[in-house]
Amino acid sequence: METLVFVFLACLASVIVAAPQLGQQQDRPPHIAIIRDDRQDFGDGNFIYEFVSENGIVVTVLGTPGSRGQSNIQGSYRFPLPDGTFATVLYVADENGYRPESDLIPTTPPVPDHAQEQIRVAEEQRRQGVVWDQRGFRVNRK
């Protein structure tokens, strides 16, 4: 019986020693102070919000009532990148959706000249009433 109690206590001690200490979290991100957090709601659908943290994150928002009951928002946000520079995004969110602008947002490459010519020809054929069947053959010949 003494051996069993000794083994139990040895196992319990091993678990306690191996467990992380209470209040200590592993891989916890550093604390970042909030420098400014200003919010104004005027009660009529208009509002202003500005947030700044010590690591350079900045959020600015201006809200106004929209024509369809939504809030129209113009704003920007900035955050640090791993290389030490900052990314900035300007945006509008309204009846027409969310429209961000930033150097970081990929843009579509220009349409090549040969593709523009194909589009022009297809539009001309459409104006002339040209119709194609499911196999790609022209149905009407004028």
User: For the segment 79-106, what is each residue's pLDDT rounded down to a tens digit?
Assistant: 999 999 999 999 999 998 999 999 988 8
Please give the pLDDT value at position 72.
Answer: 93
Of 60 and 130, more confident:
60
Predicted confidence (pLDDT) per residue in 56-78, tens digit: 999 999 999 988 888 899 999 99
Residue 4 has pLDDT above 60, yes or no: no
Give residue limits of the domains in the chain: 28-101, 108-142
Please give the pLDDT value at position 8.
Answer: 62
The conformation of residue 108, written as its DSSP 8-state character, comes to P
Q: Which of 47, 41, 49 is nearest to 72 (CA)?
A: 47
For 38, half-sphere exposure in the C-beta direction (CA atoms, 13 angstrom radius) is: 8
For 68, half-sphere exposure in the C-beta direction (CA atoms, 13 angstrom radius) is: 6
The per-residue pLDDT of the chain, averaged, comes to: 84
- ∠ CA 137-138-141, nearest 5°, is 150
**Range of weakest confidence among 3-7, 49-53, 80-84, 107-111:** 3-7
DSSP code per residue over 68-107: TSSEEEEEEEEEE-TTS-EEEEEEEEETTEEEEE-TTS--
Please give the pLDDT value at position 139.
Answer: 80
d(CA 61, CA 125): 48
Of 121 and 19, more confident:
121
Q: Is the dihedral of CA 20, 22, 24, 26 positive or negative?
A: positive
Residue reference for tokens 């350079």: 56
